[in-house]
Chain A
Amino acid sequence: MSRTLIFGALLAGIFITAALVSFVWTPFDPAVLDIPARLQPPNGTHLLGTDHFGRDIASLIMVGARTSIAVALLAVGIGMSLGIPLGLWAAARRGSLVDEVIMRGNDLVFAFPSLVIAILITAVFGAGAVNAIIAIGIFNIPVFARITRGAALSLWERDFILAARVSGKSGLRISVEHILPNITNLLIVQTTIQFSLGILAEAALSYVGLGAQPPTPSWGRMLADAQTMVSIAPHMALMPGFAIILTVLGLNLMGDGLRDLLDPRLRVTRT
């Protein structure tokens, strides 16, 4: 285990734990407004200060972590559960019409920046956490499809796959039995990275008001609130920002550490 992996896992672990703890305990009730105590810089009572309604920022960050992590997790889940089978299918039928259609479909989704997908969905169905999940999830599908297909294609050329074909195994069976176990490492690493990108995307969507809606706290919304206050209460912007950066940094370091641990030659996509 490398130090990178342990450090990354610790960083990400802190925020995941904070999110879980927030279900049973937070220092203050993040829903209660306390106007007299507003805009306090970090101090002994409010470790990370208070916002413009006097809410405790530490508590808001803990509850906000729930939103960020849940949205990112579900979005990556959508991407994996659709993208991996599509990628396996395309690779099993490489060169066929199915492959062509899947890959062209991927290119098409890539032509819509994730935010544009979110905007389209919001324009039609309205803003909200669920739509943010769908928007980020859609964007994750081609990422997983592409990387799965790429890795699977090189495996299909290997002799042990030919031997399995000579043994009469079907494309589906070979994909599940031989291909999938041999690309798990790659997928684990890519998932960590997509998860961190999901956290960033959720923050961006909430920031422009396309993600979780009030009163649900989220890191992006906290930053949106902070924007007008940034000159008088910079801690309102700094604290949630640090939360995002540290979580994403932790996940990325974890991804790098996992890659070094599992197989340093893995090709992951990071955009």
Chain B
Amino acid sequence: MWRYTLKRLLSLIISLAVASLVIFAVIEVAPGDPASFMLGISAQPETLAALRTELGLDVPKVQRYLTWVTGMLTGDFGTSYTYRIPVADMVAQRLWVSLPLALYALTLSTLIAFPAGIYAAARRGRPGDMGVMGATQLGVAIPNFWFAMMLVLLFAIKLRWFSAGGFAGWDEGPFAAMRSLTLPAIALALPQAAILARVMRSALLDVLGEDFMRTARAKGLTARQALWRHGLRNAMIPVLTIIGLQFSFLLAGGIIIEQVFYLPGLGRLIFQSISARDLIVVESVTMLLVFAVIFVNFCVDLAYAAVDPRLRART
């Protein structure tokens, strides 16, 4: 188990290192010098040079990469070109919106998908199964941002149960904050729940065809007991994979949903930074998102081992 964890950890570090290189390289080839962009075309060469020095743009690329990476390790994400405040502060503030949103949506998605998938698998081919499958087919086809607009139309404009957008802030108490995240979380979660329910169903159906399920029935377990005691845990492996992947979709999807609900999250930060050519912010936020994805996949790998003893034994 320790060797497995250590090996996954090593692979996590390598992935992060390569990802950071890729992001840095992509941003580096960006045409246009942030300094000249900030000062406009009529800027004096001396002021330009001074700003470049101030932003740290005049040192060699390798050194800049190393500064950036080591900075991030110590929590120093650099200074925003436009706002002249530490990127870390900006990000931290926004993270308190985006991360809870993604987790909220992931929880909702799982809570909807598990029962739906198990129900459909247990009633394979019967009306209940067809109903769930039809609904998921529709759920997969609906764009989450459109769904978000419809939620706003119905629950905010027509019924006035929720506000149409904006974020109450955590200072108002967790309830108010969660309330303003509820519609966005539902919009994010439903299409993902549809996918997860389908995966859950087909994973369970696969397991139901396994020999050991027949053995379980031969012991005298009822079909339902066999499904719960022997089927579910074996079906968790593909399901965990999808949950891990979904986290990255929820983070990315969150960027869009934040636009619909005017939420001050990482998504809005990244779009503002792109239009202001505040590349250091883009760079750091992207890295943060990628870090989140890689880290979640690391956690999924550990969860595999918890579920499947064969993995614990292997390398």
Complex-state Cα separation, A252 to B271, whole angstroms? 31
Q: Which of A113, A230, A256 contacts B289 (CB 8 A)?
A: A113
Contacts of A246 in B (CB 8 A): 141
| Listed stretches B24-32, B86-94, B215-223, B226-234; interface member | B24-32
Across-interface contacts of B255 in A (CB, < 8 A): 115, 119, 208
Residue of B nearest to A107 (CB): B15
> Is B99 interfacial (CB-CB < 8 Å)?
no
Query: How far apart are the CA atoms of A263 and B259 in the complex, in Å?
Result: 42
Of the candidates A111, A113, A223, the one whose C-beta lies within 8 Å of that of B297 is: A111
Per the 8 Å Cβ criterion, residues 216-249 of A in contact with B are: 223, 226-227, 230-231, 234, 237, 241, 244-246, 248-249
Count chain B residues whose beta carbon lies closer than 8 angstroms to a beta carbon of A.
50
Residues of chain A contacted by B140 (CB below 8 angstroms)? 248, 252, 270
B15 adjacent to A113 (CB under 8 Å): no
Residues of B within 8 A of A112 (CB): 19, 286, 290, 293
Task: Give every chain B residue within 8 A of A241 (Cβ-Cβ).
Answer: 142-143, 146, 149-150
Instruction: Determine which of B23, B195, B294 lies in contact with A271 in the assembled complex, contact meaning CB atoms within 8 Å.
Output: B195
B230 to chain A, nearest CB (A): 22
**Do B153 and A111 have beta carbons less than 8 Å apart?**
no
Counting chain A residues whose Cβ lies within 8 A of the other chain, the interface size class is 35 or more
Cα(A238)–Cα(B260), bound, Å? 15
B249 to chain A, nearest CB (A): 6
Is A194 interfacial (CB-CB < 8 Å)?
no
For chain B, what secondary structure do more than half of its interface residues adopt (helix, strand, loop), or is it mixed?
helix
B208 at interface by CB-CB < 8 Å: no
Closest B residue to A245 using CB positions? B141
Are A124 and B27 within 8 A (Cβ)?
Answer: yes
How many Cβ-Cβ contacts under 8 Å join chain A to chain B?
Answer: 127
Q: Is B256 among interface residues, defined by CB-CB distance under 8 A?
A: yes
8 A Cβ contacts from A102-120 to B: 104, 107-108, 110-116, 119-120
B157 touches A108 (CB 8 A): no
Q: How far is the CA of A249 from the CA of B297 in the complex (A)?
A: 30
Contacts of A271 in B (CB 8 A): 195, 242, 245-246, 249
- Are A204's CB and B22's CB within 8 A? no
Chain A 13-36 near chain B by CB (<8 Å), digits 1 or 0 = 000000000000000000000000
Closest to A226 in B: B149
A197 to chain B, nearest CB (A): 9
Interface residue B167 (Cβ < 8 Å from any Cβ of A): no
Please measure, in the bound complex, the distance between the C-alpha atom of A270 and the C-alpha atom of B141, giving whole angstroms: 12
Q: Give B1-51 interface residues, CB cut-off 8 Å to A.
A: 15, 18-19, 22-23, 26-27, 29-31
Complex Cα–Cα for A270 and B290 (A):
21
In angstroms, Cα B26 to Cα A249, docked, is 35
Asked if B143 and A230 make an inter-chain contact with CB atoms under 8 angstroms apart, the answer reads no
Is A97 in contact with chain B by the CB < 8 A criterion? no
Please indicate which of the listed interface residues A104, A248, A252, A271 has the most CB atoms of chain B within 10 Å of its own CB.
A271
A249 touching B149, Cβ below 8 Å: no
> How many Å from the CB of A204 to the closest CB on chain B?
6
Cβ-defined contact, B146 with A115, below 8 A: no
**Shortest beta-carbon contacts, A-B, top 7:** A113-B252, A248-B141, A115-B252, A249-B141, A241-B146, A124-B30, A113-B248
**Cross-chain pairs A/B with CB under 8 angstroms, 13 sampled:** A110-B293, A111-B248, A112-B290, A115-B253, A116-B286, A119-B274, A123-B30, A124-B30, A208-B255, A223-B149, A227-B149, A244-B141, A252-B137
Having A223-B143, A256-B137, one finds 5 other A-B pairs with CB under 8 Å, namely: A122-B274, A207-B256, A227-B260, A230-B149, A230-B152
Seen from chain A, the residues whose Cβ lies within 8 Å of a Cβ on chain B are: 104, 107-108, 110-116, 119-125, 196, 200, 203-204, 207-209, 223, 226-227, 230-231, 234, 237, 241, 244-246, 248-249, 252-253, 256, 270-271
